Amino acid sequence: MIAFDNAHLSPLRSRYHARIEDAALILRAGGLVAMPTETVYGLAANALDEQAVARVFEVKGRPKFDPLIVHVHSLDQLLDFVTEIPALARKLAAEFWPGPLTMVLPKSALIPDLVTAGAPTVAVRIPDHKLARELLKKADLPLAAPSANPFGRISPTTAAHVRDQLGDKVDMVLNGGPCRVGVESTVIDCSGEIVRILRPGGVTAEEIERVVGKVEFGQTPDPHGPQASPGLLAQHYAPRTPLSLLEAGLPSTSPGERLGLLAFVLEPGDGFACTETLSPVGDLREAAANLFAAMRRLDAAGLSRIIARPVPERDLGRAINDRLRRAAAGSQPE
Ligand code: TXA
Ligand code: MG
């Protein structure tokens, strides 16, 4: 048997813990920490501190009508911040938490109105990332965290993306490596008998249906009712370069145009100055994990237009197509 000497690991280990301790202290003092999660990096603040939450809106340039997701480390911790966890929500929590599922539940008085944009409900999730959960435990606070990007822009899936976009506007960036899932959490309303998917994301509709049966999609059908998820603007996730969706082939071009291609699977890149392939073998998970970084690389390539191929509208493909459609809407000339 070979004896394994891990003494050399201890300085590294303690640095890791020191980083989490520093981040927890910053949060407890009302500061902002960019926190890795399995979906995208979040811009975290103490959800109970209105001033800290106000800074999140300010740093992101996010309108106040768009409510934030509150992150917790356990169901136990959640009990203080919601007044009820319906049976359907408990079932889904048992199946998908920790993980990329956000549930909209009735909020307790402890959650400031600023977090929920005045709504009587709060969106909550337990993230499936070691660093995020250790930070949540260490800080011993619920953390309000939107994606750590300027409002309407591409979500960050690495620490470097956060630094590029938010720089020193955040007090600390906790580097947890590239995000495993790569698209945001699925936001659901489970107050009724049927689960309603407000935003497709990392947990697929098919996975939810296997647990609770048929789901519905989109906002509440009542046109006079409150808007179910005010943050679901048509324009979002947008690169600076105009992006359009095209099933196949080349668009008609003007002379001198430099086109980029955001392909799902391998395809000949004829006519394109630059190509990104989300998954050469056509795997939707791999495609989701690569999506935002690929959009960023194309955005930095000096192109006049990005042509994106829609992916199959199933499983994680729903979340990918949703982001592509919003990116296309967001990059129309203003
Ligand atoms: O994966 C994620 O969800 C990431 C990581 C950091 O956890 N966070 C994230 O947050 O994507 P954000 O702020 O970019 O998106 C939150 C979404 C918005 O569409 C917002 O409208 C919706 O959640 N939301 C928040 N509170 C809500 C509420 N009370 N009712 C309905 N929708 C809500
Ligand atoms: Mg976002």
Report pLDDT digits (tens) over 21-35. Answer: 999 999 999 999 999
pLDDT at 2: 46
Pairing of strands 305-308, 259-263: parallel
Atom 12 in ligand 1: which residue has the minimum CA distance?
Answer: 146
Q: Residue 332 pLDDT more than 70? A: no
Q: Which residue has the higher pLDDT, 261 or 5?
A: 261
Task: Summarize pLDDT for 146-185 with one digit per residue, the tens.
Answer: 999 999 999 999 999 999 999 999 999 999 999 999 999 9
Tell me, in angstroms, the distance from the centre of ligand 2 to residue 46's CA: 18
Asked if residue 173 lies in contact with residue 34, where contact means CB atoms within 8 angstroms, the answer is yes
Shortest-distance ligand to the CA of residue 201: 1
Residue 28 CA to ligand 2 center (angstroms) comes to: 23
Residue (of 260, 208, 237) closest to 320 by Cα position:
237
Cis peptide before 98 (omega within 30 of 0): yes
Q: Give the span between the Cα atoms of 14 and 171, in whole angstroms.
A: 21
Nearest ligand 1 atom to the CA of 181 is: 1
Answer whether residue 318 shows pLDDT above 90: yes
CA distances from residue 18 to 11, 14, 43, 173, 244 in whole angstroms, order as listed? 10, 6, 20, 14, 45
Residue 23: CB atoms within 10 A of its CB come to 24
Strands (E), the chain: 33-35, 42-46, 69-71, 101-106, 121-125, 143-144, 172-173, 186-189, 196-199, 216-217, 243-245, 259-263, 274-277, 305-308
Q: How far is the CA of 57 from the centre of ligand 2 (A)?
A: 12
Give the H or E element holding residue 94. Answer: helix 87-96
- Separation of 69 CA from ligand 1 center, angstroms? 5
The ligand 1 atom at the shortest distance from the C-alpha of residue 125 is 7
As given in the structure block, the two tokens for residue 143 are 């953390």
Distance CA 261, CA 14 (A): 44
Residue range 178-197: average pLDDT?
95
For the CA of 41, the nearest ligand: 1
Binding-site residues, ligand 1, Cβ < 6 A = 37, 39-40, 42, 66-69, 100, 102, 104, 116, 119, 121-123, 127, 145-147, 184-185, 187, 198-199, 228-232
C-alpha of residue 170 to centroid of ligand 2, in Å: 16
pLDDT band at 186 (very low <50, low <70, confident <90, very high): very high
Strand order in the sheet with 101-106: 172-173, 33-35, 42-46, 143-144, 69-71, 121-125, 101-106, 186-189, 196-199, 216-217
Mean pLDDT value across residues 278-282: 97
Q: Which residue has the higher pLDDT, 71 or 255?
A: 71
| Dist. CA 105–CA 80, nearest whole Å | 12
Q: What percent of the chain has pLDDT over 70?
A: 90
pLDDT for residue 334 = 42
